[in-house]
Amino acid sequence: MAEAERTDGSARERTITGARVVVCSPGRNFVTLVIETQAGVVGIGDATLNGRELSVASYLTDHVIPNLIGRDASRIEDVWQFLYRGAYWRRGPVTMSAIAAVDTALWDIKAKMAGMPLYQLLGGKSRERVLVYGHANGKDLEHTVDEVLRYKEMGYEAIRAQSGVPGLATAYGIGKGDMYYEPAGEELPEVQEWDTRAYMTFVPKLFERLREKVGPETKLLHDAHHRMTPQEAARLGKSLEPYDLFWLEDLTPAENQEAFRLIRQHTTTPLAVGEVFNTIHDCRTLIEEQLIDYIRATVVHAGGITHLRRIADLAGLYQVRTGSHGATDLSPVCMGAALHFDSWVPNFGIQEYMMHTELTDEVFPHDYRFERGFMHCGETPGHGVTLDEKLAAKHPYKPRQLPVARLRDGTLWNW
Ligand SMILES: O=C(O)[C@@H](O)[C@@H](O)[C@H](O)[C@H](O)CO
Ligand SMILES: [Mg+2]
């Protein structure tokens, strides 16, 4: 390591002396990076990439950790640039999740050393509480209506509704009977069935009924999970306009950012995209051309707080607001960091929130809390989430992959 990259004498206590990756499965798989400094301050970051967990664990253990030892933990920006530029091979979910884990752990350490909750280092709070949306899902229309009403009872002001579709054996986003929706169920991918026409005929009926039942106040959201062509997406957005959705998410696979020009010309339904994005380059056109309303990039998959802040700042120039991904495959560590970010970010929109299981919460003790439709980050120095490594060790990794979708004729589609 070059002299400039080493800690100087006066900063010896900030030197990174150790780092390790903990892979555990308290109900589902999580990858967590733990970084230690000379002074004994420990920071943790989430590196979970659902269905591809071990690739990030290896990237960290084999390629990143050796570069961290001896470095100054306070130089978050320089470490970020080193890992991003220094690898030569840029971007991608594995690389960016690994960088995110380092970045989150270093912000945790910096905030702990400052004796402040993380939001203070970002610039302090812009709001008192963080609006979240919950996930209601049912096997058919009536069941979904009941579930949405149940979420309303629990105090949610914003509710995502997903439903089984008549004629389709399976649909995206439908749980298997409890509060803990988890799509990655099997060692090899489950094959689900898809038919865009059946779906597009059904969804407006669902939202017509939902709007009737919940009244005008409740914010309703829906995730199309990348299944449409641009023209179909435009038509779906238009057909949902009377039901005043808060957002319609992931209409088409967004590596084709230009597709949103077509969609945008045809519908005023607010659009949200970005849970699979890793860098600002994935959403530059979408933001600069004002083709979306909410950017859903996360701390864990988009390069950590350092990079997510850049995305949010670009979005802010165009009145695009944040709506970070927060499914259960993002660990409580990501949720903790996200809530500090959400408390600060000026152009905040909403945060996705799916409850983790009790066991997951035990493995990752945290100080954030849910209260009647809103989340609150805590005041503990750092991001407020820790890892019980002893308990984690009792729940080892289980290979699991996300499902795939096929059309009725067998053609592989986007899940
Ligand atoms: O909006 C969402 O939360 C989803 O699209 C996720 O549930 C997504 O399917 C999972 O994170 C995949 O691991
Ligand atoms: Mg989604």
Give tens-digit pLDDT for 98-115: 999 999 999 999 999 999
Tokens (6 digits) for 228:
């449409």
With vertex at residue 31, the alpha carbon angle to CA 26 and CA 33, rounded to the nearest 5 degrees, is 125
Q: Domain extents for the chain?
A: 3-118, 121-379
Judged on CB neighbours under 10 Å (0-12, 13-18, 19+), 153 is exposed
How much is the mean pLDDT over the chain? Answer: 95
**Cα 136 to Cα 143: distance, rounded to the nearest angstrom:** 10
Classify strands 369-371 and 374-376 as parallel, antiparallel or unpaired. Answer: antiparallel
Q: Which residue has the tokens 């988009």?
A: 302
Query: Residue 12 carries which side chain, given as an amino acid letter?
Result: R
Residue owning the nearest CA to atom 12 of ligand 1: 50
The residue among 276, 299, 274, 275 whose CA lies nearest residue 284 is: 274
Active site residues: 172, 225
Is CATH 1.10.760.10 correct for 3-118?
no
Tokens (6 digits) for 257:
């950012």
8-60 per-position pLDDT tens digit: 545 899 999 999 999 999 999 999 999 999 999 999 999 999 999 999 999 99
User: What spacing in Å lies between the alpha carbon of 99 and ligand 1's midpoint?
Assistant: 21
Judged on CB neighbours under 10 Å (0-12, 13-18, 19+), 371 is exposed
pLDDT score for 171? 83
Which H helix or E strand runs over 271? Answer: strand 271-273
Ligand 1, pocket residues at CB < 6 Å? 50, 183, 223, 225, 275, 325, 327, 329, 352, 402
Nearest ligand, CA 137: 1
Is CATH 3.20.20.120 correct for 121-379?
yes
Per-residue pLDDT band at 7 (split at 50, 70, 90): very low
Nearest ligand, CA 52: 1
Mean pLDDT of 318-323: 98
User: What spacing in Å lies between the alpha carbon of 183 and ligand 1's midpoint?
Assistant: 8
Which H helix or E strand runs over 405? Answer: strand 404-407
pLDDT score for 133? 98
**Cα 129 to Cα 257: distance, rounded to the nearest angstrom:** 32
The residue among 10, 14, 30, 12 whose CA lies nearest residue 22 is: 30
Per-residue pLDDT band at 250 (split at 50, 70, 90): very high
SS3 253: coil
pLDDT score for 256? 95
Q: Which residue has the tokens 């699979």?
A: 276
**Cα 9 to Cα 234: distance, rounded to the nearest angstrom:** 60
The residue among 22, 35, 103 whose CA lies nearest residue 301 is: 103
SS3 32: strand
Which has more confidence, 170 or 223? 223
157-201 per-position pLDDT tens digit: 999 999 999 999 888 888 776 657 778 877 999 999 999 999 999
User: What spacing in Å lies between the alpha carbon of 249 and ligand 2's midpoint?
Assistant: 6
Residue owning the nearest CA to atom 13 of ligand 1: 50
pLDDT at 288 over 80: yes
Query: From residue 141, how far is each of 136, 137, 164, 209 by CA, in Å?
Result: 12, 9, 7, 8
Mean pLDDT of 285-308: 98
pLDDT at 390 over 60: yes
SS3 15: strand
Contacts of 118 (CB under 8 A, 6+ apart): 107, 108, 111, 305, 337, 340, 377, 382, 383, 384
**Cα 357 to Cα 26: distance, rounded to the nearest angstrom:** 8
127-154 per-position pLDDT tens digit: 999 999 999 999 999 999 999 999 999 9
Q: Which residue intervals of 215-288 are DSSP H helices?
A: 230-240, 259-266, 284-288
Which of 133, 222, 223 should be mutated for ligand 1, with most atoms under 8 A from CB?
A: 223
